[in-house]
């Protein structure tokens, strides 16, 4: 009996000794990534990361741009994320105090004018916008394909339009920024007041408007050129257009949370995502040039795009404009 009891105590001691080690290893190898990226890109990233790092437990969670920034700022060191991917520059600037300084990262392959001064995040993509039309939906409603932003305020397009909400989506905000620059603030907000009467939904994320278009819920969407091209190449009957004001755009980047930067496995995953996966993303989904010596070409992606006026695209200006946004 004494031998059995001694064996039992020995077993308990081994469990008590080994379990914390296993738990600690599990915690150390667990890496949480937050992203505002599109489903197709997230699937690519997660598949590649898990193949490259099979010994790490990598979880990739989607949140819209504004939610990521708000949670990082509010939660600080208690934030569950270790890495942020595909976040708009303005929102990354908003949470810079919680981001690690990337002093060892090699920024030299990137175009100089897109490298952030703070060196607290890395370039990932240039996200351009366009007008996308599902002509079959418009034909059923017996309405023509629009040729200008002004036409989109015509009552015949009521409930036929979807757009990402500028308050929650970097994609939505870039349209607001460009039109404010193109027309002046008063005229732009007057336009949005009329335009909003025709909007069926302001979606929370950048992909939402095109998803509504794909499902036939609307006939016109303001959205990302890259996503529209992916859908067209998958056989969806979309028409991609740019009005006179040009294509709005914004820069997106990647970052590491300061509280996670001391973990080698986090930095290993981040470095791979911010270099190899960034280039893979550039050649697969977002071909606008971001590398000095790499200019990808994607089938069906419009060439010679005229980009709109995006001056004053600062965090302070963004917060000021969004404070006036009351339409969604």
**28: number of Cβ within 10 Å:** 14
Q: Does the pLDDT of residue 302 top 60, yes or no? A: yes
> Do the Cβ atoms of 83 and 256 come closer than 8 Å?
yes
Count CA atoms closer than 13 A to 115's CA, side-chain side.
13
Q: Is 37 helix (H, G, I), strand (E, B) or coil?
A: coil
What is the pLDDT at residue 15?
A: 39
Quickly state the pLDDT bin for 12 (edges 50, 70, 90): very low
| Structural domain range at position 315 | 127-249+303-324
Distance of CA 164 to the CA centre of its chain: 12
CATH number for the domain spanning 279: value is: 3.40.190.10
Q: What is the mean pLDDT of the chain?
A: 90
Q: Does the pLDDT of residue 56 top 80, yes or no? A: yes
Q: Does the pLDDT of residue 6 top 60, yes or no? A: no
What is the pLDDT at residue 163?
A: 97
What is the pLDDT at residue 221?
A: 98
Residue 290 lies in a domain: no
Residue 12 lies in a domain: yes
- What integer is the mean pLDDT of 295-302? 91
Structure tokens at 65: 């741009």
- Do 8 and 37 lie in one domain? The reply is yes
- Exposed/middle/buried for residue 182 (C-beta within 10 Å: 0-12, 13-18, 19+): middle
What is the pLDDT at residue 27?
A: 43
Beta bridge partners of 34: 61, 84
What is the pLDDT at residue 29?
A: 67
What is the pLDDT at residue 304?
A: 85
Residue 264's contacts (CB-CB under 8 Å, 6 or more residues apart) are none
> Do the Cβ atoms of 138 and 158 come closer than 8 Å?
no
Residue 295 lies in a domain: no
Beta bridge partners of 33: 60, 83
- Do 257 and 244 lie in one domain? The reply is no
- What integer is the mean pLDDT of 229-239? 92
Residue 294 lies in a domain: no
Residue 122's contacts (CB-CB under 8 Å, 6 or more residues apart) are 102, 105, 107, 110, 253, 254, 255, 274, 278
Residue 289 lies in a domain: no
Q: Does the pLDDT of residue 22 top 80, yes or no? A: no
DSSP 97-148: GGBPP-TTS--TTB-GGGS-TT-SSEEEEEEEEEEEE-HHHHHHHT-PPP-S
- What integer is the mean pLDDT of 243-252? 96
Q: Does the pLDDT of residue 243 top 50, yes or no? A: yes
How many domains is the chain built from? 2
pLDDT in tens, 184-205: 999 999 999 999 999 999 999 8
What is the pLDDT at residue 59?
A: 97
Structure tokens at 208: 């939402």
Quickly state the pLDDT bin for 58 (edges 50, 70, 90): very high
- Do 210 and 316 lie in one domain? The reply is yes
d(CA 99, CA 92): 8
- Do 172 and 75 lie in one domain? The reply is no
Residue whose C-alpha is closest to residue 78's, from 58, 98, 96, 57:
98
Quickly state the pLDDT bin for 328 (edges 50, 70, 90): confident
d(CA 135, CA 156): 15
- Do 153 and 276 lie in one domain? The reply is no
- Do 187 and 308 lie in one domain? The reply is yes
> Do the Cβ atoms of 305 and 244 come closer than 8 Å?
no
- Do 245 and 169 lie in one domain? The reply is yes
Structure tokens at 212: 């509504």
Q: Does the pLDDT of residue 272 top 90, yes or no? A: yes
- Do 70 and 199 lie in one domain? The reply is no
What is the pLDDT at residue 154?
A: 98
pLDDT in tens, 130-182: 999 999 999 999 999 999 999 999 999 999 999 999 998 889 999 999 999 99
> Do the Cβ atoms of 218 and 162 come closer than 8 Å?
yes
What is the pLDDT at residue 2?
A: 41
- Do 133 and 112 lie in one domain? The reply is no
- Do 11 and 160 lie in one domain? The reply is no
- Do 6 and 19 lie in one domain? The reply is yes
């Amino acid at each position: 009996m004494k031998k059995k009891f001694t064996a039992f105590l020995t077993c308990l001691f081994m469990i008590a000794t080994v379990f914390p080690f296993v738990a600690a290893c599990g915690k150390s190898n667990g890496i949480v990534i937050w992203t505002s990226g599109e489903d197709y890109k997230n699937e690519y990233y997660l598949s590649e990361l898990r193949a490259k790092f099979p010994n790490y437990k990598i979880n990739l969670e989607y949140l819209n741009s504004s939610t990521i920034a708000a949670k990082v700022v509010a939660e600080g060191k208690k934030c569950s994320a270790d890495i942020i991917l595909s976040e708009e520059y303005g929102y990354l600037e908003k949470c810079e105090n919680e981001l690690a300084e990337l002093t060892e990262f090699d920024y030299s392959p990137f175009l100089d004018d897109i490298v952030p001064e703070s060196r607290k995040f890395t370039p990932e993509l240039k996200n351009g916008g366009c007008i996308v039309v599902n002509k079959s939906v418009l034909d059923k409603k017996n309405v023509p394909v629009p040729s200008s932003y002004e036409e989109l305020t015509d009552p015949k397009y009521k409930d036929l339009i979807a757009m990402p909400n500028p308050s929650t989506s970097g994609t939505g905000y870039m349209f607001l920024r460009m039109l404010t620059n193109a027309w002046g603030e008063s005229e732009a907000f007057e336009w949005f007041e009329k335009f909003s009467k025709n909007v069926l939904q302001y979606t929370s994320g950048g992909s939402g408007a095109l998803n509504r278009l794909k499902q036939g819920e609307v006939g016109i969407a303001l959205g990302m050129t890259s996503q529209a091209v992916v859908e067209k190449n998958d056989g969806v009957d979309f028409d991609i257009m740019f009005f006179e004001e040009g294509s709005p755009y914004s820069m997106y980047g990647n970052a590491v949370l300061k509280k996670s930067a001391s973990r080698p496995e986090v930095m290993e995953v981040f470095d791979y995502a911010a270099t190899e996966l960034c280039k893979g993303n550039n050649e697969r989904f977002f071909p606008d040039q971001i590398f000095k010596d790499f200019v990808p070409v994607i089938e069906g992606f419009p060439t010679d795009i005229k980009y709109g006026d995006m001056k004053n695209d600062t965090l302070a200006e963004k917060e000021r404009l969004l404070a006036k946004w009351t339409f969604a």
